[in-house]
Structure 1
Amino acid sequence: SVRPTPIPNRSHTRITQIKMSATCTFSQIATTRATARRTAASPAKKSAVSVRPTPRSRVIVSADAAEEPGSSAKGMGKALPMAMDIGAIMNLLPHRYPFLLVDRVVEIQQGSYAIGVKNVTINDNFFPGHFPQRPIMPGVLMVEAMAQVGGLIMLEPGEEGQGGTQKEFFFAGIDGVKFRRPVVPGDTLVMKVVLTKLNKRFGIAKMKGQCFVGDELACEAELTLALGA
């Protein structure tokens, strides 16, 4: 009376498992698609990294990143080196206010080259007329400043309390002058002048002069100075 145990239909079981797996897969796909639709419909949150900073945000970021207020200005006020102060310059050059256009010499090698400095300020006497609405240092004064530095190259310093050599150099000519940028109040004009040729017989000196504001060339010219008694 014992009933025989039915033999399981393995193929039917396998088909059922496949159907269940397929149903799960389709369900996952549907869920994924629904999630994607919801994500696309809702506005995406922008991360701080992906957002391009506006000028205002750039200022905020740079201010937050600084170690302390004004830290970027450290070292900007360091004084330039000084080879000749204004007293030594006046000991050599005959120029006086308002036409002395060299405040200091930072480097000099007599008979070779010199680097001078002119601090340009709104108090310079030429700015009220050049120009009232837009103050610009006259180009001819930049050339004159280079010529004065050139004179320092050729004039020998005297003893303390005495003038330099009795011989003087006069501005005799200029060639190839070019003005590259305006010089305005607040600029520090650096004049570099190099002796290129000296005719001792006729007392003629040829020089190359350049004026810089920072790394920018403001003016350049070939200068001729003549030796006077």
Structure 2
Amino acid sequence: RRNRSHTRITQIKMSATCTFSQIATTRATARRTAASPAKKSAVSVRPTPRSRVIVSADAAEEPGSSAKGMGKALPMAMDIGAIMNLLPHRYPFLLVDRVVEIQQGSYAIGVKNVTINDNFFPGHFPQRPIMPGVLMVEAMAQVGGLIMLEPGEEGQGGTQKEFFFAGIDGVKFRRPVVPGDTLVMKVVLTKLNKRFGIAKMKGQCFVGDELACEAELTLALGA
């Protein structure tokens, strides 16, 4: 009887061990099955070189992109050399030292550093040097000309076309500009007649946050 009891206990233990083993095997299989689709999915969406290019192109064309709808893009900044490649103006009448932002056919932001060495200060005025208002308007027009002119191929300069005032409206001078000021000209193209080469623009000059001058400009490209 004692041997029979011992045999029965051994059988129960073996049965329990088998059951536990089956449960462990079943759980492991379930884990592998559950993990397999996720792993496959992760592999399937891994970007290839081609998909990276497509994604990059799509991102560049998303609404709100800074270049979208802004026309043909020039470099986002232009030094004096690049400016002189486009503008025909020269000393003492080149009134744009650099361009901090530009989109050809849309808008531009230029800078003129006003110094006591500017050639108009000895006569305007000897005792109180003030930049002539008409030169602020001219500086805005030169920035506007950069918007109109087409850039040349790299290393070949620009078109160097002449452009002229065809009209000035709503001019207002808000504050004097004196030596030591940095004049920032912001010009936006509002209308363009490509057939006749006529452009209308809105220009503003700032010193810091203060508006110094504003005007509506009409420019015409030379033949």
The alignment's TM-score, normalised by the length of structure 1, stands at 0.63
Per-residue deviation, 1:121:
0.3
Bigger shift: residues 62-71 or 72-81: 62-71
Residue pair 1:81, 1:106 contacting (<8 A) in 2 also: no
Residue pair 1:111, 1:195 contacting (<8 A) in 2 also: yes
Per-residue deviation, 1:100:
0.2
- SS state of the match for residue 69, structure 1? coil
Per-residue deviation, 1:189:
0.0
Bigger shift: residues 19-28 or 62-71: 19-28
Residue pair 1:155, 1:168 contacting (<8 A) in 2 also: no
Per-residue deviation, 1:160:
3.9
1:196 is aligned to 190
**1:205-228 Cα shifts (integer Å, max 9, x gaps):** 000000000000000000000021
Residue pair 2:114, 2:180 contacting (<8 A) in 1 also: yes
- SS state of the match for residue 70, structure 2? coil
- SS state of the match for residue 118, structure 1? strand
- The CA RMSD over aligned residues, in Å, is 14.9
Residue pair 1:101, 1:118 contacting (<8 A) in 2 also: yes
Residue pair 1:80, 1:106 contacting (<8 A) in 2 also: no
After superposition, the Cα gap between the structure-2 partners of 1:29 and 1:176, relative to the gap in structure 1 and judged at 3 Å, is: farther
After superposition, the Cα gap between the structure-2 partners of 1:26 and 1:127, relative to the gap in structure 1 and judged at 3 Å, is: farther
After superposition, the Cα gap between the structure-2 partners of 1:161 and 1:222, relative to the gap in structure 1 and judged at 3 Å, is: same
After superposition, the Cα gap between the structure-2 partners of 1:17 and 1:47, relative to the gap in structure 1 and judged at 3 Å, is: same
**1:159-194 Cα shifts (integer Å, max 9, x gaps):** 344331254322221011000000000000000000
Bigger shift: residues 31-40 or 64-73: 31-40
Q: Which runs of 4+ in 1 moved over 6 A?
A: 9-82
Residue pair 1:137, 1:182 contacting (<8 A) in 2 also: yes
Bigger shift: residues 146-155 or 81-90: 81-90
After superposition, the Cα gap between the structure-2 partners of 1:79 and 1:182, relative to the gap in structure 1 and judged at 3 Å, is: farther
Does structure 1 residue 180 correspond to structure 2 residue 174?
A: yes
Structure 2 CA distance for aligned equivalents of residues 215 and 74 of structure 1: 28
Question: Relative to total residues, which structure has the larger helix share, 1 or 2?
Answer: 2
Residue pair 1:117, 1:188 contacting (<8 A) in 2 also: yes
Residue pair 1:154, 1:169 contacting (<8 A) in 2 also: no
Bigger shift: residues 142-151 or 13-22: 13-22
- SS state of the match for residue 110, structure 2? strand
Structure 2 CA distance for aligned equivalents of residues 195 and 167 of structure 1: 18
Structure 2 CA distance for aligned equivalents of residues 22 and 103 of structure 1: 90
Does structure 1 residue 137 correspond to structure 2 residue 147?
A: no
Residue pair 2:187, 2:202 contacting (<8 A) in 1 also: yes
Number of equivalent positions: 221
**1:31-67 Cα shifts (integer Å, max 9, x gaps):** 9999999999999999999999999999999999999
Per-residue deviation, 1:19:
101
**1:5-31 Cα shifts (integer Å, max 9, x gaps):** xxxx99999999999999999999999
After superposition, the Cα gap between the structure-2 partners of 1:133 and 1:48, relative to the gap in structure 1 and judged at 3 Å, is: farther
Where does structure 2 lack aligned partners over 5 or more consecutive residues? Answer: none
After superposition, the Cα gap between the structure-2 partners of 1:71 and 1:65, relative to the gap in structure 1 and judged at 3 Å, is: same
The alignment's TM-score, normalised by the length of structure 2, stands at 0.65
After superposition, the Cα gap between the structure-2 partners of 1:76 and 1:209, relative to the gap in structure 1 and judged at 3 Å, is: closer
After superposition, the Cα gap between the structure-2 partners of 1:32 and 1:211, relative to the gap in structure 1 and judged at 3 Å, is: farther
- SS state of the match for residue 167, structure 2? strand
